[in-house]
Amino acid sequence: MTVETKLPYDKDYIVQFSQDRNEPDWMKTLRLQALEQADSLDMPKPDKTKIDRWNFSRFNPNYAEGHAISSLNELPEELKALLDVENPPKNLLIQRNHSVAYHTLSEELKEKGVIFTDIFTAMQNHSDLVEQYYMKDAVSVDEHRLTALHAALMNGGLFVYVPKNVQIVEPIQVVFWQENPETALFNHVLVVADESSSLTYVENYLSQNETEETVANVVTEVIAKDNAKISFGAVDHFAAGTTTYMNRRGVTYRDASIDWALGQMNDGHTVFENLTHLIGDNSSGHAKMVTVGRGKQIQNFTTKSLHIGQDSDAHILQHGVMKEGATAIFNAIGKIEHGATRSNAEQESRVLMLSEKARGDANPILLIDENDVTAGHAASVGRVDPMQMYYLMSRGISQAEAERLIIHGFLAPVVKQLPIASVREQLTELIERKVY
Amino acid sequence: MAGSTLEIKNLHVSIEGNEILKGVNLTIKGGEFHAVMGPNGTGKSTLASAIMGHPKFEITEGSITLDGEDVLEMEVDERARAGLFLGMQYPSEISGVTTSDFLRSSINAKRGEGNEISLMKFIKEMDEALDFLEIDKNMAQRYLNEGFSGGEKKRNEILQLMLLKPEIAILDEIDSGLDIDALKVVSKGINKMREDNFGCLIITHYQRLLNYITPDQVHVMMQGRVVKSGGPELAQRLEAEGYEWIKEELGIEDETVGQNA
């Protein structure tokens, strides 16, 4: 694999990149417009976290091919742990760097018209369908510099489309493995569930660059059309060298629902956004998230529900444990627009700090522009109770093991509620690794 | 020699610069049950906490040894693994950790790596102890002490005692807040432990516990010291006559020590 080190990226670079990937014209145009906008737009300003000095500018956006594999046994142990290798998922895609290394889709789903393919292939085979949703209703190109840069430099990702009335029972599973530490990942995931369809989707991000610095700028758009049900699970584990902007956003139309189960296990600085636009009447968006911070990493999490439809319902539940010198800010926002009568916005954010140097903050925010609604919030930030440690240790349990029990106990109320078994298991395993 | 020996010599303990214990001497051997009695605020619970290594208490003078080993040099978890157990007056609530997982972790901490108890054996032992203490089996799957009634918490302490099988147990007001039925069950559990290899220090404010557990020795604490020791007949006299006669005998006006001891 060859990686050019020439930077920065200009118009010619973008045109060339787009041509190399045989992209449709609309994508090339979108990239070029985004490049222009990126110059003039400001960086995002996550509440209570300064990201000016984070590395969002030193990276190499080139497309890096990863070796394809013929069997899951060729994967390193770290990846095998995410998959049931003996009994592999029927619908699986492994993206290695920016190319597809492994891909299966059951005959049954193919016959039903389900599309599950990398974003470049999707643009060639289903250009109109991708264009219809790509950075339209969920995330806009011009929100800030990072969304614009994402659109300009997008170099990997996935498209999932479930046709009307198709129910996918077995989860669709995806692994984004950023093996090459020298290139950035500008990944775009677009999941569209058409009317009255349903699916469970699980994705993992993984890298191993402890020291090499790079950037992940990921935008995920999840569209649930009328009466569609999407269960979306993710466990992210970018290594300490990666600075991450992760934006997962959903749109729910009438009677639709999106359930998010998110494990944020990155080791580097992270800006994380999860927003559900509840556009349709009687639609719902539930977000459950856990995170463990360690080392000197700083993370900012904004989880938001935006209520536009009547009778829309949202629950945000996030628990974070901060170890060592880690910092995390949790912003939970419930915004109910005028006209979204009988909507309900609930939220709970809890942060546990394990050391004197760890820092955490939880900001509950309710913005309500309608009278006939219900809303509730709970937030807490605290340190480990020394009496709990004393009690556990008085039974012979070592300090490290006592901390482990308290962390698992603190995260358990969220982990246990995650609706997807594989996400629960992966998270439990990763929490274990991060806690020791 | 049967069992272990816990030796407390001239123990002085302070909390935030305030001296609570002013020279306690006690020796507890395997096979022996000792009761420490006394009115509120005389240093009984401080003694229990100091032996286990409660982070708030500072030992300013004296020694505690277990079979000659310096207990004061050990961390809290090391004291437990060396054979000490403290049944607490106010057990902590630990959310998200089931009683069963906690018990297994505790048992395995003492057994050591490579010698962990098998799941089957653990469940069998736990079920037997739950039955013996008339505890609902669902408790094992509830989060540790979370939402437990006072009586359930105390039974849970005795459950831990029975499963961990320490050499020396200190039970700090294990009887407080118990109704008579619960008191009988808790006493039954403690009595079942009685054997040559098990020594016990029972700290209590009320004599009624000693109707169910017969101590070999009874000690009365006042002003941060053991002021009187005797056999089971001492407890009976205390029950009949209260503490006033001891105060008069020793010329003590205010039996309490420090603040909130």
pLDDT at A58: 85
Inform me whether the C-beta atom of residue B101 falls under 8 Å from chain A C-beta atoms.
yes
**Residue A427: is its pLDDT beyond 90?**
no
Residues 363 through 422 of chain A touching chain B, CB cutoff 8 Å: 385-388, 390-399, 401-402, 405-406, 408-413
Collect all residues of chain B within an 8 Å Cβ-Cβ radius of residue A410.
95-96
Contact call for residues A436 and A403 (beta carbons, < 8 A): no
* Portion 215-244 of A in contact with B at CB < 8 A: none
How do residues A182-229 score in pLDDT, each as one tens digit? Answer: 889 999 999 999 999 999 999 999 999 999 999 999 999 999 999 999
Query: A299 and A272 in contact (C-beta within 8 Å)?
Result: yes
Q: Residue B261's pLDDT is what? A: 40
DSSP state of B6: E
How far is B57 from B49, CA to CA, in rounded Å? 8
pLDDT at B1 over 80: no
**Could B94 and A411 be called an inter-chain contact, meaning their C-beta atoms sit closer than 8 Å?**
no
Per-residue pLDDT for A3 more than 90?
no
Q: Is residue B44 part of a domain?
A: yes
Residue B118 pLDDT class (50, 70, 90 cuts): very high
The complex scores an ipTM of 0.95
Percent of chain B with pLDDT over 70: 98
Element of type H or E holding B18? strand B18-29
Q: How far is Cα A403 from Cα A390, in angstroms, rounded to an integer?
A: 11
Tell if the CB–CB gap between A412 and B160 is shorter than 8 Å.
no
| Pairwise CB contact (< 8 Å): A391 & B143 | no
B138 inside domain: no
Question: Which residues in chain A have Cβ-Cβ distances shorter than 8 Å to B75?
Answer: 393, 399
Tell me which chain A residues have a C-beta less than 8 angstroms from the C-beta of B105: 395, 397, 401, 405
What's the confidence (pLDDT) of residue A2? Answer: 41
Least confident of A83-87, A124-128, B61-65: A83-87
What is the pLDDT at residue A329? 96
Domain-located, residue B201: yes
Taking only the tens place, the pLDDT of each residue in B219-245 is 999 999 999 999 999 998 988 898 999
Residue B143 lies in a domain: no
Instruction: Give Cβ neighbours of residue A2 (< 8 Å, ≥ 6 apart).
Output: none
Tens of pLDDT along A101-160? 999 999 999 999 999 999 999 999 999 999 999 999 999 999 999 999 999 999 999 999
pLDDT of residue A423: 84
pLDDT band at A9 (very low <50, low <70, confident <90, very high): confident
Residue B73 confidence (pLDDT)? 96
Q: Would you say residue B31 has pLDDT above 60?
A: yes
Query: Is B116's pLDDT higher than 80?
Result: yes
CA of B97: which chain A residue's CA is closest? A409
Residue A134: what pLDDT?
A: 98
As a whole number, mean pLDDT of residues A252-263 equals 97
Model pLDDT for residues B147-165, shown as the tens digit of each residue: 999 999 999 999 999 999 9
Structural domain including B219 reads 5-95+166-250
pLDDT at A7: 43
The answer as to whether B198 is a domain residue is yes
B144 inside domain: no
**Residue in B91, B96, B110 closest to A396 by CB:** B110
pLDDT for A5 equals 39
Instruction: Give the count of domains, chain B.
Output: 1
- The reported pLDDT for the residue numbered A42 is 93
Per the domain annotation, does B148 fall within a domain? no
Q: Which residues of A touch B95 (CB under 8 A)?
A: 409-410, 412-413
| Residue B259, pLDDT score | 54
CATH number at residue B225: 3.40.50.300
pLDDT exceeding 70 applies to what percent of chain A? 98
Asked if the structure places residue B43 within a domain, the reply is: yes
CB atoms A387 and B160 under 8 Å: no
Confidence of residue B258 (pLDDT cuts 50, 70, 90): confident
A4 confidence band (pLDDT: 50, 70, 90): very low
Mean of per-residue pLDDT scores for chain A:
93
- The verdict on B64 touching A (C-beta cutoff 8 Å) is no
**3-state SS of chain A?**
CCCCCCCCCCHHHHHHHHHHCCCCHHHHHHHHHHHHHHHHCCCCCCCCCCCCCCCCCCCCCCCCCCCCCCCHHHCCHHHHCCCCCCCCCCEEEEEECCEEEEEECCHHHHHCCCEEEEHHHHHHHCHHHHHHHCCCCCCCHHHCHHHHHHHHHCCEEEEEEECCCCECCCCEEEEEEECCCCCCECEEEEEEECCCCEEEEEEEEEECCCCCCEEEEEEEEEEECCCCEEEEEEEEECCCCEEEEEEEEEEECCCCEEEEEEEECCCCCEEEEEEEEECCCCCEEEEEEEEEECCCCEEEEEEEEEECCCCCEEEEEEEEEECCCCEEEEEEEEEECCCCCCCEEEEEEEEEECCCCCEEEEEEEEEECCCCCEEEEEEEEEECCHHHHHHHHCCCCCHHHHHHHHHHHHHHHHHCCCCCHHHHHHHHHHHHHHHC
* pLDDT-derived band at A52, boundaries 50, 70, 90: confident
Which pLDDT value is given to residue A8? 65
The pLDDT tens digits of the residues spanning B185-204 come to: 999 999 999 999 999 999 99
Q: Say if residue B2 is exposed, middle or buried (CB neighbours under 10 Å; 0-12, 13-18, 19+).
A: exposed
pLDDT at position A12 = 93
What pLDDT score does A84 carry? 80
Is B7's Cβ below 8 Å from some Cβ in A?
no
> Which strands, in side-by-side order, build the sheet including B217-222?
B84-87, B168-172, B199-204, B33-37, B217-222, B225-230
Comparing CB atoms, the residue among B80, B85, B95 nearest residue A409 is B95
CA distance B165 to chain A (A): 11
Report the pLDDT value the prediction gives residue A277, as an integer from 0 to 100.
98
Selected for mutation to probe chain A from B45, B95, B105 (highest A CB count within 10 Å) is: B105
Is A436 a residue whose pLDDT tops 80?
no
Q: Where residue A60 falls among pLDDT bands split at 50, 70, 90? A: confident
- Count residue pairs from A and B with Cβ separation < 8 A: 80
pLDDT confidence of residue A419: 78
